[in-house]
Copies of this chain bind each other. A is one copy, B any other.
Amino acid sequence: MTTIGDGASLTLSWRELLELAEGFLTAHGLSPEQARALALSLCRAERDDSRSHGLQRLPGTLETMAHPAFNRKADPRAEMLTPAIIRVDADYGFSSLAVERGLPPLMEAARSLGIAVLAVNNGFHATALWPVLEEIAAQGLAGLSMNPTHDWVAPAGGSGGVLGTNPIGFSWPRRGRPPYVFDFATSAGARAEIALRRQQGRALPPGWGLDREGRPSTDPAAVLAGAMLPFGGHKGSALATMIELLAGPFIADRTSRQSALFDDGARAAPCHGELIVAFDPVLVGAASGQGNDAEAAAEDLFARIEQQGGRLPGARRHAARARAKTEGISISRPLHEKILALMP
């Protein structure tokens, strides 16, 4: 293993990074197929400098795999519930392999019907949404993805946790360039960021959370014991509620509260459903004979956002990815040591 780097970090190649993550997971008994799918997602995040969804999630997989319901040998299969809805039961493994197996039939259905849904059930979810959304965009389709988490977030006007941090992500394909992709939590701040600020003794921005009595607080410990708040007031709260309903009851899976109850103190990754919708961005225009050029209209929109200094989401990730190609991927030395120390 290459160990270039200063005291605080070392630099690995893409292959070394993948081997580290896959090796860790298979050494702890995860099936090779599951290990490969999850490692790929974590390593993509690490490579793109999206560290919160990168290899720092690897130690936590041990708590997830220790959940009584966790299935190290889960071997999910896609089934067509209708011509527009593909379902994959992750069977209590990590959700990554289930998503991977559902993507080809999802994209085939979207190309034929213009829209299709992938419903992933019963997966322990530890990854960002954008890697999958990028894969959908790479096939020329638009993607929309969302999932519940645990009931850490109070509704607007409320006092205690009901909603999840409920991420939502979206991708739109662009010819010859990285796709337009966003992926954000509907909570005002990220739970990992609040935990980090508690460690560092730093206050939270106002509006991020409530204490146990439902009073606004900027104390990270009080908010972790109380409730987080949604972004954007009642609008963000409504969106988070929609995500609960569409990625929970609509696909016959857990709400954030049900997921937290299922965890029952195991501190595993949340086990829930995941909704992924794929859209064919040229089908309607072609089928209806409408003159409007979808690609030109979208590109004009992106250009106008960038021309005035607005940043397209994902730009930072793509810059990090380009650097990683030539310079390798730098990972924190303490994290690397922790991963090695946790090897069985």
**Contacts from A to B (Cβ < 8 Å):** 79, 81-85, 87, 89, 112-117, 119, 121, 142, 144, 154-160, 162, 170, 172, 180, 182, 184, 186, 214, 231-239, 241-242, 244-246, 248-255, 257-258, 277, 279, 281, 283-285, 287-288, 290-292, 294-295, 297-298, 300-301, 304-305, 308-311, 313
Contacts and interface: CB of A to CB of B under 8 A. Distances in A.
Contacts of A301: 162, 241, 244-245, 248, 255, 257
B300 A257 contact: yes
B115 A308 contact: no
Nearest to A302: B241
A315 to B, nearest CB: 11
Contacts of A155: 305, 308, 310
Given A157-B310, A249-B292, A85 B255 contact: no
Given A184-B234, A254-B297, 12 more contacts: A83-B113, A84-B84, A84-B113, A85-B287, A114-B117, A119-B288, A142-B245, A157-B310, A158-B305, A239-B239, A248-B298, A258-B297
A248 B279 CA distance: 13
Nearest to A214: B308
A288 B121 contact: yes
Copies of this chain: 2
A115 B284 contact: no
A172 B248 CA distance: 12
Given A82-B283, A162-B301, A308-B162, A294 B255 contact: no
A241 B309 contact: no
Nearest to A303: B162
A157 B309 contact: yes
A283 B81 contact: yes
Most chain B CB neighbours (cut-off 10 Å) among A115, A253, A310: A310
A298 B242 contact: no
A304 B257 contact: yes
Nearest to A184: B235
Given A232-B235, A253-B290, A301-B257, A283 B157 contact: no
A69 to B, nearest CB: 14
A252 B308 contact: no
Contacts of A233: 231-232
A85 B309 CA distance: 36
A113 B87 CA distance: 13
A85 B111 CA distance: 12
B284 A162 contact: no
A295 B249 contact: yes
Contacts of A112: 82
B310 A255 contact: no
A172 B245 contact: yes
A254 to B, nearest CB: 7
